[in-house]
Structure 1
């Protein structure tokens, strides 16, 4: 039997909008009895303040670098936007969007499938993770090249919801997932738990690998980016928003800001690191320039994918997604088949990529780096990007 611990730490502290989200027995999220001010009221513009919510319970990471560099360079063109860390519950990023407490979430395909299965009428509008970002971390010398050998072993997760990420990744490699044990070791301590001898492996992802090294967690990895054909995290909104012309126009401009940030960082990764470090100085101090650059190079590789086969930043490969949905239907992770084209759309990709690429490159080339960042040899860092892969 597959087993996952599901104990949770209750929310504490001041009352805020997150406290009144309730999950029914079927997984549907509803508002608590007290309600929230402003829900359902008219807005002066399509969204008021447009809120993007993280899937990981924190913003102090390098994962969201396109937003921070886009914000710094003015690529969001005066749009009223904000980022929220959200709770560490792995499904919060879809639940909050579904009930209108956020406007865009960034779920993994597994968590997105959870939303679809539980009747949350969401749609993916911008596919960030063109390659599979997910990996399994192992203590040095204990890594597995063939994931079938993970059967009978224990995988540590930061959130129980992450099982929906790992099961398809394993099944695609021929693993009988009923023979794998899962333990929720908590955010942000699941990596530390692996290092201390608990479990046999832990879920990881590109970018996090470098950030873990910065905290003394040095593992070896089975890398999805090298071995998996499954898609990774994507941007989702309420499907109803795509029926509102004003909201569609807003989303086009908003996603253009992200696409410009992605293009800028592709041209000058070190500048993108500095934009994040300026936003989070403590994180910068704890991570350092070289590992920051390593993290962004790892993630940029995932976000870009094979751009020659894509129609711009954020483009969905429907075939890859259909393969994922068919796999999880076969596994029983969802109860009925999903048509990828019914829950994903490329209609905003053309407008999102309709920007002056030459100007963005000029902006990136002209960016004045700090002396510390100038000293980082990009190509040397790039050359070591996969050194931690299981040999």
Structure 2
């Protein structure tokens, strides 16, 4: 995938340089833009990956294509690849919503950022541990004394809690920052014993000839995954709260559309990013999105709709991060996560979205993709 060096499409935006020490400096880009008759000049969502050329954000691109975001002045930015930039940008007001992992969210809270999770995308733990074939184990305690490769040093805050709840002494695990997007090729080349991965990425790695076996968080981990965070103060502004509910409703509609017609959602992303389309193709693209839909949906019978927070899962996460020292004071999940926008976000015409999905005419290439066959083999890479 292509990683932009700077966020594109900005008319008046400040690009924040995030140093290794976590210091944020600002460089003004462009001239002042016009004001908008909304509580936000332009509502900016920022990626945690340094790129938008992935399938992870399919609800936005599918929703945009289907008109679900009409009337909302929105912007998507890749941001820098620094793992903590997604929360730093939101905290200082240069983005309005970020998509951090729980570990990066806890980093923000530890560093005094007044953020709140308002839409929990990752109902199941998306993260996994990749091993070269024949070298993996479902007993993660065997990673003690071994080396785990990461794309960013900030990702240690993701892996430590995941390992700790499996009984691993994380002080006995070594981490090496192997860089984005090269940490997987480093694993293949034998430069470490394992690597962090996540659902959706597994299919992308196959497209690059990187075929590993996996310990899968979706099967074994009780922890939550990435979530949408905003400045907590924005919930105190009635106009912003109304906007946020409408914005999240469009995301929920995009999620529902993708659930009903995953191939159509992939097409929407591929139209936005032709290079990604070339790299993945219809079958692996559909595989990737099905992995992610499984994470985003979770067990919907036990959820209050798309984006609903399971407070017990979040509390378990904060408790383990406190034991690890990632946070130094207890965090109550209900204080930093909220379901107050979830009812409104899910208050849409589901029959209409299903009709939109059912009525979408696929291209010939996507029409040939057998979704049920992919679902039947979605976990073939899991360690047996």
Look up the match of 2:195: 202
SS in 2 for 1:316: coil
Aligned equivalent of 2:299: 306
SS at structure 1 position matched to 2:100:
coil
Cα distance change, pair 281–177 in 1 and its aligned pair in 2 (3 A): same
SS at match of 2:330: coil
Contact 1:31/1:99 (CA < 8 Å) preserved in 2?
Answer: no
Superposition CA RMSD, Å: 2.1
Q: Name which of structure 1's ranges 13-22 and 188-197 shifts more when overlaid on structure 2.
A: 13-22
Corresponding position of 1:166 = 159
Contact 1:293 1:378 in 2 (8 A): yes
Pick one of 162, 171, 176 that aligns with 2:169. 176
Q: CA deviation at 1:233?
A: 0.2
What's the CA shift for 1:19? 5.0
Partner residue of 1:259? 252
TM-superposed deviation, 1:21: 3.9
Q: Which residue of the other structure, out of 284, 297, 301, is the alignment partner of 2:277?
A: 284
Counterpart of 1:91 in structure 2 is 84
Residue of structure 2 in register with 1:383 after alignment? 376
Is residue 2:336 matched to residue 1:355?
no
For each residue in 1:198-227, what CA deviation from the matched residue of structure 2 results, as whole angstroms up to 9, or x when unmatched? 100000000000011011111100000000
Give the Cα–Cα distance (whole angstroms) in 1 for the partners of residues 38 and 313 of structure 2: 36
How many residues are matched? Answer: 377
1:1-391 matches, cutoff 5 A: 20-21=16-17, 27=22, 30-32=24-26, 44-391=37-384
Shift of the 226–350 alpha-carbon distance from structure 1 to 2, 3 Å rule, reads: same
TM-superposed CA distance for 1:77, in Å, is: 2.6
Find the aligned partners of 2:215 and 2:14 in 1 and give their Cα distance: 35
State the Cα distance separating 1:158 from its structure 2 match: 0.3
CA–CA distance in structure 2, aligned partners of residues 301 and 36 of structure 1: 39
Q: d(CA) in 1 for partners of 2:299 and 2:59?
A: 18
Q: In structure 1, what is the Cα distance between the partners aligned to 2:118 and 2:218?
A: 22
Once the 2 structures are TM-superposed, how far is the Cα of residue 277 of structure 1 from its aligned partner?
Answer: 0.6
The alpha-carbon distance between structure 1 residues 288 and 324, as it changes in their structure 2 partners (threshold 3 A), is same
Alpha-carbon distance in 2 for matches of 1:23, 1:37: 22
Instruction: Calculate the TM-score normalised by the size of structure 2.
Output: 0.94
Structure-2 change in CA distance of 1:370 and 1:42 (3 Å): closer
Contact 1:30 1:99 in 2 (8 A): no
8 Å contact from structure 1 (residues 86, 92) kept in 2: yes
TM-score by length of 1: 0.92
Query: Aligned partners of 2:331 and 2:65: how far apart in 1?
Result: 39
